[in-house]
Structure 1
């Protein structure tokens, strides 16, 4: 016996198949960009929409088919048919989940999806409870199964195509239409395969179709769920995941991902001004007050930058205490004015959990277009200019120019060659004498490392020390310097010249946890008495971890090694900690020596000398270059001096010549 179709409902089934296909395409496009549990969320969402969409299309098609007999549906079998479609879709998506897949996985995924569609269709047919016998035409049955497999492979290829693409225009809709018609083609081919055989005496219903309410409600609820899952996934993607992926959690500003997306949409000749902002004192605040205060500070900085956002410019937080402000159609003058305004806003005091903080920023500016240079070049040049601004004294802005580019190339070259310098014996040590004007005699030497580059010549320590600090190479470099200084000091001792030698230390040595072993190893290897070695630390070191610094210094002094604080008065003030820090001497920075004519500077030096006497600390003045310096410093109570007046940093053979003619008519005892 034959049935007939309600073509309005047939059209509805096709529409459902198209909408379900589009929703599945949209949802599965998120799979390759997700990670962890969110990836499985998108797979399950896509599988549910695809599987239940095919199931809904099937049973809407069944509602369109009228056999003229009373038809009911077995509830368990109907639910099993739906489960088969959803599970098969999940298996297919899971098999093709990796970003790189081969044809074997596509074949496995397509087979499971196709088998699921066939199982769903014919299980749904078996769920029909009616007074007729149902058989199938083998040819059309086989054809429907083949169509199901072909549909599945097409579906997976489309899913893979859109999973790795952000496209969501007409191409995705066209693909959804192809999938919708293909799925419907499988269904109606399967219906063509069905043969309904009535029996004699069977009553025929020639009136209106008798609709199974369970089926009607089930399809309605399923379609509603498909819409809810699709809309929920879109809402979750746009309002939750989008926010998590493209918005900084602390400041609420757009993050690095949003910055990349911003550049992706602004390629061309449009001039962009890139302002790279870095806070100047952030690390010290983090180390002394804690990361919680640091996060709150960053949050407040973000609040101060947010008002600068307009249609033509956007502020981003790209990590740590680094921010980026990108301005469209921007010239140098406009960028400089904006940088000046931002610096003024940033340096206003911050009141955070009872702390009054004063923080400044450094800004590097780069002007260019994405056609003339890529984004990485703009960011790199702005970063280079920012470091130049820091070197100029901080709380400043600097515009990138080609000269900086040359310096950056040189810096990269030095960083690359620095690691080979040690093994190729390119380092050497020079020694600068310290002089006691009270006894008019030698007080010791400071050991200073130098680098004789095979192509660039002698490289200034101002250049390579900072690179070594940043890369961590300062640790093996200091180990070598310490060993060489101890060896030379021992050699002088054996020759009758008993004078201590001092070596500068980096905070990296304290952070490495191996300082005690390093010093002990150098002393033991050279056979040098500990009292002939002095270690110089910088004032800012004490702000990193004062308790750990004190502990390590106490262990060093327990060995008999002296400790002095170098460049005192130029870093973060540590006067309040001087009674805790185990040191033997303070070295006044040449900043004070070069300005001795200023009464305020002389008053400060006098106060430091008096304070040092109270704490039983020696005071050593650096940068002494003439007799006027000596006269002023002596009047202020400073008796130990170091500078070009007494001797420049010298190689060991030059030290020998210097010892024969010491300055100011003084003498050097050699036993």
Structure 2
């Protein structure tokens, strides 16, 4: 039986058991007297089925438990005892042994039924207790949570509601150890119990906890949550391993944000989803979140059909070799043309990544880029196109094999197709990324590190991975006038060259930036100084006019 069924059954039984013992005893006694009267008026035990007395005895077991059944079994035996004639008309008395045997049978039935009902009630009580309990942590579960919310709202008691979620529990289970993950869950439960008291903490799911704080203002709940997050995220040693937990929190208030359990839990879940966007990992619910969530859902739905509806298109930003001032190729940038949704690629790509279908979009980009290289090649333009690859793509082996298939189908040199990965992508996939990049390199596909200097700076990755290009992020290019930043960029260029890599500076917009980069020995630049991202036709026109000039 599931938890919901157990709760419904328990509630029904509770309504039946609510009959007071005194009334139940009087009703049972009255029924036994009635049975005795019926037997007497019918002519005695010779003419009537005396087992009718089992009915009040069973009812006594039901309403008055085991000892009640035993008591009324004895009373029933006495009522149908020696003074109850076997034949009233002939005034023939019963045999004493028969009366004793009948009383013993009444006792046996009363004891058996009483024990059975006692076991059933104990089991039902245990099921009811377990239906309110999360067994791993010993905390109350969502069934109890809903009941407590209902009690608070019916009592018109204001309360704040907090949700805490371990954001990196899956990573701990996958990359550290499952037992460490389980102990992390227990550790957070213990911390929340200490902070808020066990009766106020509920387990909503495997890695999500809910805290109810009656008569607590939203501001106070916010302050408490911040303190708890700071405490939990301090690195802790579990079974000899240092673990740093990432915790997100969402907060709302009743009645300000709702009254029913369903409404409050739904809104809390929305806020919890938004908490990951906050630097502190904490979000207080507001009604705008519902609109933003609806917009996100509409975007997600539209993205599912964008490939089939041919709504994506590519633009290409030229990459110029500084020394020769020749065009080395372009970065292929994805754009989305939708009638009602207008957002930048960073936003919709992030949504696609979280939804788990970014690989389908990446495959479209790879296919389109390979076809475009072929088209340009046939028109006399040899251009390399570099496209962005996400961390989710590296977890999908089919993306690499699909790239190989597209290159072969288009009949192009694999060296004309490049992949750009950010430092974050590389660091998130260290266990797998090296073999995949080696596989790409063996295919002839060049690899670039994009946005270098803004993510996980791990120079050792530059040494161990087959990387051909390093792209310096626009953040540093915008600060080229600062001597400290110049020193950093100069050292990055020197390092890249020592590792046989070429350097591409992104976001170059002024002649002064170009001049400084050239003095530092930068190989290539990309930015509005030479060109904005261009459509296919605009790129052909740019190449023609650039070569003429």
- Report TM bin, short chain: 0.7 to 0.9
Please tell me whether residue 63 in structure 1 is matched to residue 77 in structure 2.
yes
Spell out the pairing of 1:97-112 with structure 2 (5 A cutoff): none
Structure 2 equivalent of residue 529 of structure 1: 413
Q: CA deviation at 1:480?
A: 1.5
Separation in 1, partners of 2:509, 2:169 = 36
Structure 1 equivalent of residue 332 of structure 2: 447
Q: Is the partner of 1:501 in helix, strand or coil?
A: strand
Aligned-residue RMSD, C-alpha: 4.2
Structure 2 equivalent of residue 367 of structure 1: 253
The verdict on how the C-alpha distance between 1:216 and 1:568 changes in structure 2, with shifts beyond 3 A counting, is: same
Q: Is the partner of 1:275 in helix, strand or coil?
A: strand
Structure 1 equivalent of residue 425 of structure 2: 541
Separation in 2, partners of 1:391, 1:522 = 36
Q: CA deviation at 1:252?
A: 3.6
Structure 2 equivalent of residue 646 of structure 1: 530
Q: CA deviation at 1:229?
A: 1.2
Q: CA deviation at 1:612?
A: 3.2
| Runs of at least 5 residues in structure 2 that lack an aligned partner in the other structure | 1-41
Q: CA deviation at 1:374?
A: 4.2
Separation in 2, partners of 1:651, 1:369 = 53
Task: Give 2:160's match in structure 1, choosing from 270, 273, 290.
Answer: 273
Separation in 2, partners of 1:406, 1:462 = 20
Q: CA deviation at 1:309?
A: 2.4
Separation in 1, partners of 2:377, 2:163 = 53
Task: Give 1:299's match in structure 2, choosing from 182, 186, 190.
Answer: 186
Task: Give 1:422's match in structure 2, choosing from 307, 325, 347.
Answer: 307
Task: Give 1:352's match in structure 2, choosing from 230, 238, 255.
Answer: 238
Please tell me whether residue 593 in structure 1 is matched to residue 477 in structure 2.
yes
Q: Does structure 2 retain, via aligned residues, the 8 Å contact 1:534–1:562?
A: yes
Spell out the pairing of 1:205-354 with structure 2 (5 A cutoff): 210=100, 215=105, 218-219=108-109, 221-222=111-112, 225-226=115-116, 228-230=118-120, 232-238=122-128, 244-268=130-154, 270-310=157-197, 314-354=200-240
Structure 1 equivalent of residue 510 of structure 2: 626
Q: CA deviation at 1:212?
A: 7.2
Q: CA deviation at 1:502?
A: 0.9
Separation in 1, partners of 2:482, 2:212 = 45
Q: CA deviation at 1:520?
A: 1.9
Q: Does structure 2 retain, via aligned residues, the 8 Å contact 1:362–1:397?
A: yes
Separation in 2, partners of 1:284, 1:623 = 34
Q: Is the partner of 2:139 in helix, strand or coil?
A: coil
The verdict on how the C-alpha distance between 1:270 and 1:353 changes in structure 2, with shifts beyond 3 A counting, is: same
Q: Does structure 1 retain, via aligned residues, the 8 Å contact 2:54–2:109?
A: no
Q: CA deviation at 1:318?
A: 2.6
Q: CA deviation at 1:579?
A: 3.9
Q: CA deviation at 1:599?
A: 5.9
The verdict on how the C-alpha distance between 1:409 and 1:223 changes in structure 2, with shifts beyond 3 A counting, is: closer
Q: CA deviation at 1:418?
A: 1.8
Kindly provide the CA deviation profile for residues 507-540 of structure 1, in whole angstroms up to 9, marking residues without a partner as x: 3333333123311222133222111000122333
The verdict on how the C-alpha distance between 1:373 and 1:233 changes in structure 2, with shifts beyond 3 A counting, is: closer
Structure 2 equivalent of residue 490 of structure 1: 374
Please tell me whether residue 378 in structure 1 is matched to residue 378 in structure 2.
no
Q: Does structure 1 retain, via aligned residues, the 8 Å contact 2:76–2:106?
A: no
The verdict on how the C-alpha distance between 1:386 and 1:435 changes in structure 2, with shifts beyond 3 A counting, is: farther
Q: CA deviation at 1:501?
A: 0.3
Separation in 2, partners of 1:598, 1:359 = 38
Please tell me whether residue 18 in structure 1 is matched to residue 32 in structure 2.
no
Kindly provide the CA deviation profile for residues 418-448 of structure 1, in whole angstroms up to 9, marking residues without a partner as x: 2232222211111112222233322221111
Q: Does structure 2 retain, via aligned residues, the 8 Å contact 1:271–1:369?
A: yes
The size of the alignment, in residue pairs, is: 500
Q: CA deviation at 1:564?
A: 2.1
Tell me which moved more, 219-228 or 353-362.
219-228
The verdict on how the C-alpha distance between 1:640 and 1:337 changes in structure 2, with shifts beyond 3 A counting, is: same
Tell me which moved more, 394-403 or 301-310.
394-403
Spell out the pairing of 1:458-497 with structure 2 (5 A cutoff): 458-497=342-381
The verdict on how the C-alpha distance between 1:353 and 1:626 changes in structure 2, with shifts beyond 3 A counting, is: farther
Q: Does structure 1 retain, via aligned residues, the 8 Å contact 2:480–2:513?
A: yes
Q: CA deviation at 1:281?
A: 4.5
Q: Does structure 2 retain, via aligned residues, the 8 Å contact 1:539–1:572?
A: yes
The verdict on how the C-alpha distance between 1:542 and 1:196 changes in structure 2, with shifts beyond 3 A counting, is: farther
Separation in 2, partners of 1:461, 1:556 = 25
TM-score, normalised relative to structure 2: 0.77
Separation in 1, partners of 2:300, 2:270 = 15
Q: Does structure 2 retain, via aligned residues, the 8 Å contact 1:247–1:255?
A: yes
Separation in 2, partners of 1:215, 1:601 = 98
Separation in 2, partners of 1:539, 1:352 = 29
The verdict on how the C-alpha distance between 1:573 and 1:11 changes in structure 2, with shifts beyond 3 A counting, is: farther
The verdict on how the C-alpha distance between 1:565 and 1:247 changes in structure 2, with shifts beyond 3 A counting, is: farther
Structure 2 equivalent of residue 140 of structure 1: none
Tell me which moved more, 343-352 or 395-404.
395-404
Q: Is the partner of 2:532 in helix, strand or coil?
A: coil
Q: Does structure 2 retain, via aligned residues, the 8 Å contact 1:444–1:499?
A: yes
Q: Does structure 1 retain, via aligned residues, the 8 Å contact 2:162–2:252?
A: yes
Q: CA deviation at 1:477?
A: 1.7
Q: Is the partner of 1:295 in helix, strand or coil?
A: helix
Please tell me whether residue 513 in structure 1 is matched to residue 513 in structure 2.
no
Please tell me whether residue 435 in structure 1 is matched to residue 449 in structure 2.
no
Q: CA deviation at 1:486?
A: 1.2
Q: CA deviation at 1:558?
A: 1.5
| Runs of at least 5 residues in structure 1 that lack an aligned partner in the other structure | 24-51, 70-193, 663-668
Q: Is the partner of 1:395 in helix, strand or coil?
A: coil
Spell out the pairing of 1:168-183 with structure 2 (5 A cutoff): none
Q: Is the partner of 2:153 in helix, strand or coil?
A: coil
